[in-house]
Amino acid sequence: MRRAAITRRLRISRVQRAEAGIALVAALRDSGLLESLRPGDTVAAYVSMGSEIPTRPLLGLLLDTGLRVLVPRLGSGMEVGWGELTDVRALRPVESDTATSATAAAAVAAITAAGGTAAADTAAADDSCNDSSCRADANQPDARPSDARLSDARQPKARRRHRPDEPDAETLEPQALRDARLILVPAFAVDRDGTRLGRGGGWYDRALMHRASGTPIVAICWPWESPRNATSALLPRRPHDVAVSGMLTPTGLTWLHS
């Protein structure tokens, strides 16, 4: 099912993907999700990658609203952690020592791979910097590692593929998620009972264990991956799977029964 989802997503052009990111902002603004939040409240979100709808515009909206934004920090592989995002332009590709990258890659693949399709998902539809404002920022000197950072590195550095960009911020413990009053997560599909199809590594299932009771969890995906447009069959749910409360697409918000 993940392979089929990625196959369809890869038919989306970069222009359509960028337009979807802008439409997602309007959908969030019109959804009412932000009306119950006050400046300073915490929202847990994520930095899009691969075939996902670009979330940089959405992250910008959250920050402009005065909200505190947390995004995942994966450490060297499977760790559950969060980083506070203060500026979308401060997001950076994650670097690794080439001496240890093979071990880390195996762990990261368990989080972000979708069968054998992760490489195609990332290479063909990498949206780490695909909107016009982000591309402009990426050309600025402050968007690249400084000469000092490069000269201080004892090991060659390489970008870790198949993982999202992260803020250069302190890594917060998994329990930081308890502060979140709204949680936004990625998905390949969601069924009418709130079962979410993720990338298969279980990172979010472990992360969401630390949420506060009653916090709404909203999955973000493409409109055809919603219960209204996808097959009526229910997705398989394992005991540790955490159901989502709703689904947000560029066309709007759908609350689910879970």
Q: What are the average pLDDT values for consecutive 10-residue runs of the chain, which has 258 residues?
A: 86 96 98 97 97 97 98 84 97 67 47 46 46 35 31 42 85 97 96 88 92 97 79 72 94 86
Cβ atoms 41, 14 nearer than 8 A: no
Q: In degrees rounded to 5, what are phi and psi of residue 83? A: -125, 145
Q: Residue 188: give its domain's CATH number.
A: 3.40.50.10420
Number of independent structural domains in the chain: 1
Q: Which amino acid is at 197?
A: L
Which residues lie closer than 8 Å to 47 by C-beta, 6 or more apart?
55, 56, 59, 71, 72, 91, 128, 164, 165, 166
**Residue with token string 């990338």:** 199
pTM of the model: 0.79
Q: What is the pLDDT of residue 138?
A: 32
Domain that holds residue 38: 2-255
* Cα 112 from Cα 162, distance rounded (Å): 6
